[in-house]
Structure 1
Amino acid sequence: MDANPTLDQLQVFLAVAETGSFSAASRALNRAQSVVSYTIANLEAQLEMPLFERSGARQPKLTEAGKAMLTDARRIVADLQVMRARAKSMKQGLEAEVSLAISVMVPSNAVVDELREFRERFPSVALNLNVGELGMVMDMVMSGRADIGLGGALLKQDDTIVAEKIGYSFLIPVASSDHPLVRLNRPLTLSDVREEVQLVVTDASELTKGRDFNVLSYKIWRVSDIATKHQLIRGGLGWGGLPASVAAKDIMDGKLVALKLDAYEQGEYPLYAMRKTSRPPGPAGQWLIDAFHRRLSSCPSHEEFAEKLGLDAPHEVREAAE
């Protein structure tokens, strides 16, 4: 059986390579120089290759093999440090991994910003992230596939789920700038949109199977996700509702136009943090819930968003879901 280098041997090897000499490495490690030399000799014997050129030079110089092994040694030592940090964190109660399910209604810039800070605060905690539509978030929490769900709406009452309202979003009916509905250049009626293709997301969740939200047209194209729906609407293939955070830039750039359609419910879409009652979050999970609560509770209201984009504010605010 091949002998395996020890962590101590690799650390001594790194010390010699990084300090440039056996004597400097011995001082850095607080060991006798003879012990350092003996450790390196044993490592070279195990690997069956010289790591340093010693003859004719005052300072040891890495061989080509030594340079290659240096990269491997750094990676192995770094991986072991990560393992130690994770073990220490778990001993202190910090999760090893957080599984998070997020609705597409949560603004993408908020997701990026908060997860960036999460990575900095909890470098040893692995993250398993799922982003989806409609009932996916609650479905994943109920089934135990996600520790925390961020989204809405609460499609069924379940006493095993703890849900806390953390903010809101809203949907805007839009079409491309050259779409026939836009060319009408007036507030739209239900009869205007009936014969135009409406793009609708079909959710894979059993919670919303057979249910349609804000579907007004007779002609329906069903797609699997918001990203595809967004691209098809931009391409002029139909109209449909998009989260405000998804549509905002295209509206400002003139690629999409917000439709004035009273029949389409554009009210606030509540966003919740959900988890199983039996699975309370650890420190990292609770930080995520609190961070998104702070961020989403300060998002612009429907009226503020409409004013920012130069849109007419809705006549009334109703809770809506798609």
Structure 2
Amino acid sequence: MLDALTLDQMRTFVTVAESGSFRAGAGKLSRVQSAVSHAIANLEAELGVLLFDRSGHRPVLTPEGRALLSNARDILLRVDAMRARARGLGEGIELELSLIVDTLFPIETVGAALKQMRGTYPNVSIRLAVSPLGGPLDGIVDRHFTLGITVGEDFRDPAIARKALTAVEIVAVVASHHPLGQRTGEGALENAALADHLQIVQSDPSERTAGRDFGVISPQTCRVSNQDAKHAMILSGLGWGRLPLWQVERDLGEGRLVRVPTAALGRNSQVSAEAYLVHRIDEPLGPAARVFGEALTLLCSDARNIRSSSGVPGSGNTL
């Protein structure tokens, strides 16, 4: 009977599947191999299907096992989330709120939300880090931080809950005295023309983008470790690159930077990326974290409303 299934059986099934053998799974579960084999056999009997083909040197998931593995993972994630929520209901105020933020997200908005949180919980300490690309997700997955803010759709994890906050506008810019900056009004450039010029690129401190490049067009690159350095290199005229509109809006308005004259990087050299507030589903959020999240969501909503009502071209619904 399916009612006889236990969470322990499902956790054993998932662990063995991810470990590649009954022996390795037993080691991860701190059990003897015979107990693990017995638990899998009982689960197979109750489900009425074979989960593993044991005819070879190592057990291999059967087609039925592969199909049911995703269900088992989903059930365990939901149970972990329920347990975390139950623990959070009985816990008090955090001693510290730890937060890691994508470099593309406006840090002043984060500061404003943290200030509101401190108004409610003045004794809560704050630990804040800023990191690009896969860094924020790594910080949450590895439990170094309680909350994170990620930007874009490239970094996801099934154990991480996400809540959409706002769109961040990202624009391709170059110094007005750079050769590309002198070409405004001469027609849109193709990728080949951009590839003739040095591109300033943000490096990823995580391994999530190993072997991949995001938005890199030119074979000539200058890779920098932080966004302030990228901004400074572009302002100096060394090369062109993409930066969040909130960081370069004043430079554009005062003529130090101009948009790269191309339609290959979005309309008006600009694209939108969604920002998300993220946390582990199996880690309960304390009162301070919840107040911060509520304050941040409201600030983002207010910013969208202000942008929409101002009628600024290309800036609606953004921070």
**What's the TM-score bracket when you normalise by the shorter of the two chains?**
0.5 to 0.7
* Residue equivalent to 1:213: 214
Q: Give the greater-gyration-radius structure (CA).
A: 1
Q: Distance in 1 between matches of 2:220 and 2:309?
A: 30
Query: Is there any run of 5+ residues in structure 1 with no aligned partner, and where?
Result: 1-90, 318-322
Name the counterpart of 2:286.
Answer: 282
Task: Quote the residue 2:276 is aligned against.
Answer: 272
Aligned pair in 2 of structure 1 residues 296, 97: CA closer, same or farther (>3 Å)? same
Show the 5 A alignment for 1:1-322.
93-186=92-185, 187-265=188-266, 266-300=270-304, 308=312, 313=314
Paired letter, 1:240: G
Amino acid at match of 2:195: R
**Cα gap change, 1:132/1:112 in structure 2, threshold over 3 Å: closer, same or farther?**
same
**Normalised TM-score (structure 2):** 0.64
Highest relative contact order (Cα 8 Å, sep 6+), 1 or 2? 2
Structure 2 residue ranges without an equivalent (≥5): 1-89
After superposition, what is the alpha-carbon deviation per residue over 1:89-111, rounded to whole angstroms, capped at 9, x for unaligned?
xx971111111011112113212
User: What is the CA-CA distance between 1:191 and the residue it aligns to?
Assistant: 2.4
Change beyond 3 A, Cα 1:199–1:304: farther
Number of positions where the alignment pairs a residue of Structure 1 with one of Structure 2: 221
Query: What is the RMSD computed on CA atoms of the aligned residues?
Result: 2.5
2:91–2:286: 8 Å Cα contact kept in structure 1? no
1:148 offset after TM fit, Å?
Answer: 0.4
Distance 2:232 2:246 in 1: 15
Give 1:154 deviation, angstroms. 4.4
Q: Give the residue type in structure 2 aligned to 1:205.
A: S
Q: What TM-score do the two structures reach when normalised by structure 1?
A: 0.63
Q: Secondary structure of 1:95's match?
A: coil
Looking at structure 1, the residues matched to 172 and 100 of structure 2 have their Cα atoms a distance apart, in angstroms, of 25
Q: Which piece of structure 1 moves more, 269-278 or 114-123?
A: 114-123
Give the superposition deviation at 1:215. Answer: 1.1
The 1:150–1:305 alpha-carbon spacing in structure 2 relative to 1, beyond 3 Å, is farther
Answer yes or no: is the 8 Å Cα contact 2:96–2:124 preserved in 1. yes
Whole-Å Cα distance in 2 between the matches of residues 221 and 149 of structure 1? 28
